Structure 1
Amino acid sequence: MRNATSTKSKRNKFFAGVLAAGVAGAALSTGVLSNTPAVNAEPVKVEAPQQNFGFADVVSQVSPAVVSVRVTQADEPSMDLSGDMASPFGNLPDDHPLRRFFGTPDGGPQMPRGLNPDRRDRDRPSIGQGSGFFISDDGYVVTNNHVVANGSTYTVVMDDGKEYTAKLIGTDERTDLALLKVDADNTKFTYVEFGDDNAVRVGDWVVAVGNPFGLGGSVTAGIISARGRDIGAGPYDDFLQIDAAVNRGNSGGPAFGLDGKVIGVNTAIFSPSGGNVGIAFAIPASVAKDVVASLRDDGTVERGWLGVQIGEVSEDIAEALGLASAKGAIVTLPDTETPASKAGIETGDVITGVDGQAVESPRDLARMIADYNPGATVEIAVFRDGKSETIDVKLGNLSSLDEAASLDAPRTGGSPVDPSALDGYGMTVMPSEDGAGVVVTDVDPDSSAAEKGFSAGDTIVAVNGADVSSQEDIRTAIETAAENGRRAALFQLKNADGENRFVALPIEKS
């Protein structure tokens, strides 16, 4: 019995030794000793002061400079400004106590304007409400253009309830800013100053003060959610996105940093439901400061004017033109008799720089040109025919531009005559009646042309910058592009309304 136990004990010790040796061998084969702990990557650590703070100190200092702006319109406005957000309280009875806070929900543009006209008496003046803030002790007040639009009289209501009559100094519709002036003898107003919005970061705190739903002196707080937002409001969109609660009536009010300086002017919200959903947009202080300074000087804002219609440079377009990267703004049409056309800028040019500063996008170009004074001469860098060149352009005055300038007259319709297929591209084309361009008469819905947006009725004006008047011209231009190593050909298209666009179409292999 002892012998059997001894044998079993020895066998167990043997297997234990083999197992230990196997583990050690595995550890050695991987270069790690079995008694060395595994080393993990360090997690992200942010060394930031842990503070327990509120916003009361900021609010107490800035609130006297923030005002409610009441606008009276003698006539019914052309656009119902109370309908900028659908109100969940729109069906309240007329005698309900909450009725006075909410206008009729029409579901219009998402601007928190705050107009509450009395719909029961159409003969009475419409009353609109927004927000604003003093920028000087002598009574200059910044607000939104859409707050004061169509106004006949303006009243500024202070934080303590005191009211002053204000006069309109000027407005700038393109940036949605306006400047009012309160004249009060022997009165010095508490005012705030613009800060440096370029110094703030996504995630920084922001405090909004304003007059939502007529509840003046309301304060909300949040963070900067994003920068450089384009919301389709205009060519100079460069909004700060904030998540501080902004509602109807907050328009024109300031968004403060924790230093008490204005980093943005609240102007719009995104709201599928009609209420605050945490997405609001503010005009950056750097933009507002320059515009307000111009309004204060002479009541207007003058901007440089180049005079071109421009589009995005996609990856396909960059490839078709031989550009190193998809940056810049492609000229879809230089307007006639404009600074650009007079200087020699042509359709199909890609504008890549202004006075040595790179142009990243069409919006970038629009803002850069607007920063120049009318009459200034600027050096425009363009990419044309596979090479770069510069063109000096004397800018015009955007404010004097005739908005009613017409584009090319639409083509008169005509029945297709002898259309022919453009083999491999899913299109049927025919020469245009006036000999200028080739008309697309049919597009295969399963073709790359349809995928890229070609449609019947489009006119192919040029391919890779070469004018075309026949199917053969198109093929020649495509073959030339292929010989030059291009994987796509750039088509210049014009629709029935005379609007130009550029589309890069992959070259089909023969």
Structure 2
Amino acid sequence: MASRNSCFAFFAALFCLGQVAAANAQLPDFTPLVEDASPAVVNISTKQNAPVHGANARMPDLEGLPPIIREFFEHGMPGIPEGGQQREAQSLGSGFIITADGYVLTNNHVVADADEIIVRLPDRSELKAELVGADPRTDVALLKIEGTGLPTVKLGKSDSLKAGEWVLAIGSPFGFDHTVTAGIVSATGRNLPSESYVPFIQTDVAINPGNSGGPLFNLQGEVIGINSQIFTRSGGFMGLSFAIPIDVAMGVANQLRTEGKVSRGWLGVAIQEVNRDLAESFGLERPAGALVAQVMDGGPAAKGGLRVGDVILSVNGSAIDMSADLPHLIGAIKPGTKATLGIVRDGERETLTIQIGALPDEGEEVAEASGRAEKSSNRLGVKVSELSAEQKRSLDLPGGVVITEVLNGPAAMIGLRPGDVITHLNNQAIDSASTFGRVAEQLPKNRSVSMRVLRQGRASFITFKLAE
């Protein structure tokens, strides 16, 4: 019996070792990738001469002090230049060389406001870098160092990347040069609240301060992203890392190199997400697309016939699943070219061809309105007034009503406030207080109803249901 048990244990151990060996055989060997790619990954440090203000920038008042203490301050402290002391601020990040003559990609936030940029190569030689250009909207910066025959990375394509693929990062977290971390792609096309023009690659690769601007590789040793951000509540890595797709980054870099700036397509609309209630209200089969909440007067959308209440479902054949998909699709279109938009209007699918404009540097907000003549609607629980001709002109509206008082009722429950301007109700344009009252009285019960509201220059659609 003992011999039998020993034999069983022996074969069980062999089986377990075989399972481990099989599992290890399926894991990638990153060694060749790291050896080939590392020479083109660089450390980036910056210096910024920042004035020190306040008490630290001034010599203390020495009058009345004992001679020995006065002598210590006079001879023991360094001179302070007129206008305040200068301190040297530093930041640390990563980057990678994309051309043999010294063009380097990194993040904008790594080099922003720097007075001096130093690129340290793997052989520990340091070179001063020139900032060719930067694009805060995508957080991409292009640098240039002097050199020939420099090692370069291989550039891949990020548009074919899929969730579950192995990826690897090389960077300088906390200043530890050429640190290698690996993981998988968690998702693609991820939209972050603070970013409109980047469909981020989400990974579980360990990224920490200092990794910013470094490359993200696929198993073929090709750069498919620039490590840019992490989601954290602790300040350190928590398993959620985000990289800028290399297709986006190179598009920006090429414009910075040739034009010195980045031009983006612009539609001239304000949009919002289509939730389940809005989808029902607009006759959509499922929540999808970008709902047009506002059309800028004189913008490309207005000239092309796009209207408030239209739902944009596609751009040049690319589907809009989430509203955040629209900005980076439009932004990638060259200004002056035409784009085909698939939309839903009044429950019917249509196609519009619009000439895309150039994204302006700054937008203008519309002033908030106030009203006079009141008209009440007890069904919604609001009092409204007509917009004056001056208010319509300043708001650039053909019509609408302004809320002067919110009573108890549906309006209070959905968060309406005095000063809000209602321009559409139940998919109908509101051109006067009488039209508002008529439409409000005919609202259906127990079905999602949409309302377009303008608040402090920002328009959005909200939904609600009237009970029996």
TM over 0.5: yes
Q: Which amino acid aligns with 2:195?
A: G
**In structure 2, C-alpha distance between the alignment counterparts of 1:386 and 1:53, rounded to whole Å:** 51
**In structure 2, C-alpha distance between the alignment counterparts of 1:354 and 1:56, rounded to whole Å:** 42
SS at structure 2 position matched to 1:146: helix
SS at structure 1 position matched to 2:369: coil
Match of 1:506 in 2: 465
SS at structure 2 position matched to 1:341: helix
2:401 to 410, 421, 437: 437
TM superposition shift of 1:360: 2.5
**Alpha-carbon contact 1:494-1:501 (below 8 Å) kept:** yes
Match of 1:138 in 2: 101
Match of 2:67 in 1: none
TM superposition shift of 1:449: 4.2
TM superposition shift of 1:131: 0.4
1:202 to 126, 150, 163: 163
Q: Does 1:128 align with 2:91?
A: yes
Q: Describe the superposition over 1:48-97 as per-residue Cα deviations: whole angstroms up to 9, x where unpaired.
A: 993465422221211111001122223469xxxxxxxxxxxxxxxxxxxx
Match of 1:382 in 2: 343
2:25 to 50, 73, 90: 50
**In structure 2, C-alpha distance between the alignment counterparts of 1:450 and 1:340, rounded to whole Å:** 33
1:60-79 correspondence to structure 2 within 5 Å: 60-75=35-50
Match of 2:376 in 1: 420
Q: Answer 1 or 2: which has greater strand percent.
A: 2
Q: Does 1:491 align with 2:451?
A: yes
Q: Which amino acid aligns with 2:30?
A: F
Match of 1:11 in 2: none
Task: Choose 202-211 or 149-158, whichever is displaced more.
Answer: 202-211
TM superposition shift of 1:254: 0.7
1:274-353 correspondence to structure 2 within 5 Å: 274-353=235-314
Q: Which amino acid aligns with 1:128?
A: S
Match of 1:273 in 2: 234
1:188/1:443 CA distance change after superposition, 3 Å: farther
Match of 2:137 in 1: 174
Q: Which amino acid aligns with 1:461?
A: T
SS at structure 1 position matched to 2:110: helix
Q: Describe the superposition over 1:105-145 as per-residue Cα deviations: whole angstroms up to 9, x where unpaired.
A: xxxxxxxxxxxxxxxx9613322211000111111110001
Q: Describe the superposition over 1:346-373 as per-residue Cα deviations: whole angstroms up to 9, x where unpaired.
A: 2222223333443323222212211211
**In structure 1, C-alpha distance between the alignment counterparts of 2:412 and 2:406, rounded to whole Å:** 10
Q: Which amino acid aligns with 2:356?
A: L
**Alpha-carbon contact 2:368-2:419 (below 8 Å) kept:** no
Q: Describe the superposition over 1:136-177 as per-residue Cα deviations: whole angstroms up to 9, x where unpaired.
A: 111111000111111222211011201112111111111111
Q: Which amino acid aligns with 2:33?
A: V
Query: Quick check: which has more Rg, 1 or 2?
Result: 1
Match of 2:18 in 1: none
Match of 1:87 in 2: none
**In structure 1, C-alpha distance between the alignment counterparts of 2:210 and 2:103, rounded to whole Å:** 20
**Alpha-carbon contact 1:379-1:392 (below 8 Å) kept:** yes
1:393/1:52 CA distance change after superposition, 3 Å: closer
Match of 1:254 in 2: 215
Q: Which amino acid aligns with 1:177?
A: V
**Alpha-carbon contact 1:319-1:486 (below 8 Å) kept:** no
Task: Choose 169-178 or 229-238, whichever is displaced more.
Answer: 229-238
Task: Choose 133-142 or 196-205, whichever is displaced more.
Answer: 196-205
1:202/1:143 CA distance change after superposition, 3 Å: same
Q: Which amino acid aligns with 2:367?
A: A
TM-score (norm 2): 0.79
TM superposition shift of 1:428: 2.6
**In structure 1, C-alpha distance between the alignment counterparts of 2:31 and 2:51, rounded to whole Å:** 41
Q: Which amino acid aligns with 2:276?
A: E
SS at structure 1 position matched to 2:154: coil
**In structure 1, C-alpha distance between the alignment counterparts of 2:260 and 2:202, rounded to whole Å:** 28
**In structure 2, C-alpha distance between the alignment counterparts of 1:48 and 1:448, rounded to whole Å:** 60
Q: Does 1:454 align with 2:410?
A: no
1:162-241 correspondence to structure 2 within 5 Å: 162-184=125-147, 187-241=148-202
Q: Which amino acid aligns with 1:64?
A: P
SS at structure 2 position matched to 1:382: strand
**Alpha-carbon contact 2:154-2:222 (below 8 Å) kept:** yes
Match of 2:436 in 1: 474
1:505/1:371 CA distance change after superposition, 3 Å: same
Q: Which amino acid aligns with 1:180?
A: L
Q: Describe the superposition over 1:368-403 as per-residue Cα deviations: whole angstroms up to 9, x where unpaired.
A: 2112111112233333233333333221111xx140
TM superposition shift of 1:195: 1.8
1:245/1:309 CA distance change after superposition, 3 Å: same
2:366 to 404, 408, 423: 408
SS at structure 1 position matched to 2:432: coil
Aligned length: 405
**In structure 2, C-alpha distance between the alignment counterparts of 1:489 and 1:188, rounded to whole Å:** 65
TM superposition shift of 1:249: 1.1
**In structure 2, C-alpha distance between the alignment counterparts of 1:402 and 1:128, rounded to whole Å:** 27
TM-score (norm 1): 0.73
1:443/1:76 CA distance change after superposition, 3 Å: farther
Q: Does 1:354 align with 2:315?
A: yes
Task: Choose 357-366 or 305-314, whichever is displaced more.
Answer: 357-366
TM superposition shift of 1:266: 0.6
TM superposition shift of 1:478: 4.8
Q: Describe the superposition over 1:317-339 as per-residue Cα deviations: whole angstroms up to 9, x where unpaired.
A: 22222233322211111112211
Q: Which amino acid aligns with 1:191?
A: T
Q: Which amino acid aligns with 2:111?
A: V
Q: Describe the superposition over 1:267-310 as per-residue Cα deviations: whole angstroms up to 9, x where unpaired.
A: 01122111222221111222223222222332322221111111
Task: Choose 451-460 or 58-67, whichever is displaced more.
Answer: 451-460
Q: Which amino acid aligns with 2:463?
A: A
TM superposition shift of 1:488: 2.6
Task: Choose 53-62 or 128-137, whichever is displaced more.
Answer: 53-62
SS at structure 2 position matched to 1:336: coil
**In structure 2, C-alpha distance between the alignment counterparts of 1:51 and 1:489, rounded to whole Å:** 54
Q: Which amino acid aligns with 1:283?
A: I
Percent sequence identity over matched residues?
39
**In structure 2, C-alpha distance between the alignment counterparts of 1:122 and 1:243, rounded to whole Å:** 43
**In structure 2, C-alpha distance between the alignment counterparts of 1:221 and 1:357, rounded to whole Å:** 31
| Unmatched tracts of structure 1, length 5 or more | 1-46, 78-120
SS at structure 1 position matched to 2:86: coil
